[in-house]
Structures are given as structure tokens and as C-alpha cells.
Amino acid sequence: MATLSVWKFQTPEGASQAEDAVLALQTQHLIDVQDAATVSWQPDKKKPKTRQSHNLAAVGALGGTFWGLLFGLLFFIPLVGVIVGAAAGALGGALTDVGIDDNFIKQVREKVTPGTSALFLLTSGEVPDRVIASLREQGIHPELLATNLSSEEEAKLREAFQENV
């Protein structure tokens, strides 16, 4: 079973620092990162910068289509408003079908704001307490939002978005 998690940081640089640390934890078998992306939002900007991790050549990586859809719903479509309301509803429904519900989207929208950053991870086999303890030892203090995907939801997600098959 996979976990889609969002790790929020109080600075625009926090997610990039944490990404490097989390990827290093793979060598200790504390986490298996299948895909990752970061959002960095400078305090004076209207929109965040998004970046998919290119350090991962995993067969399980979902690819840019998934991250583009998710980030569009989270950060860009809400800014456009009513004009694309129906399209946003359809896209949101597609994500709900793969285990990413409206509550998760709302929670991320409310927490990832100007002046913050977030690391988005698709993982499996993590040891959450040890991962968080290791990050804190390195001076990295994330706020963790997570959703577990059922095996069926994970299969649907991969079928819809996996690019490296």
C-alpha cells in the first residue's frame, strides 16, 4: 500500500532541504520514495513554484501529468475561479477515484501558503517515527499531512498516471 504525503515547511526553502534528507534515508531502508515533487512559495509571489524530483528513475514514478493535475487543483485553478468550475470538479472527481479526496485537497490548500513550502511524496514501506526523528535530528521540522491509498486506489493511480511502464 502506498502513502501520498505532504510535508509542509515554514520557509520557502524547507521542502528542498527535506527532499535531499528523505532521499538519503532510502539507503537506511527507512522509506521507499517512489515519486516526489516540491512546492516553494515565496512570500511576495501570487503563485508557488513547483518541481518534480528528477533524482528518481523509479519504475513506480507517476510523472509530470499526475503532479501537474494535483498542483493545478491545489494552487492554480482556485485562482481562476468560477470560469473553470465544472472542469475543476471533473478533475477533482478523477483524483477522488484514486484516493485523494476533497478534504485532503482542502487541507493542503489551507496549509501551503505564501512564505511556506511543501514536499509531496509517494512512498511505501516507511517507518514514520524513525523518518521524522531523523529529520528532526537534522534540524528539519515538517508538519505532516498524509493519506493512505488502498491497494485498489494505488493501482488506479498508477494506471492513470504512470509514465515509466
CA distance 154 to 105: 17
> Is the confidence at residue 35, as pLDDT, over 60?
yes
How is the beta sheet containing 117-124 ordered, strand by strand? 49-52, 32-40, 117-124, 3-9, 143-148
Return the C-alpha cell found at 43.
512570500
Total-model pTM: 0.77
- Please list the alpha-helical segments (H only) found in 13-165: 14-25, 64-71, 77-80, 85-97, 102-111, 128-137, 151-161
- Report yes or no: 69 and 95 within 8 Å, Cβ to Cβ: yes
Residue 26 vs residues 88, 89, 99, 127, 142: alpha-carbon distances, Å: 35, 36, 25, 11, 18
- The mean pLDDT of 28-56, rounded to a whole number, is 86
Return the C-alpha cell found at 118.
511543501
pLDDT digits (tens, 9 = 90+) for 55-104: 554 545 556 667 777 777 777 655 444 444 444 444 445 555 555 677 78
Whole-number pLDDT of residue 92: 47
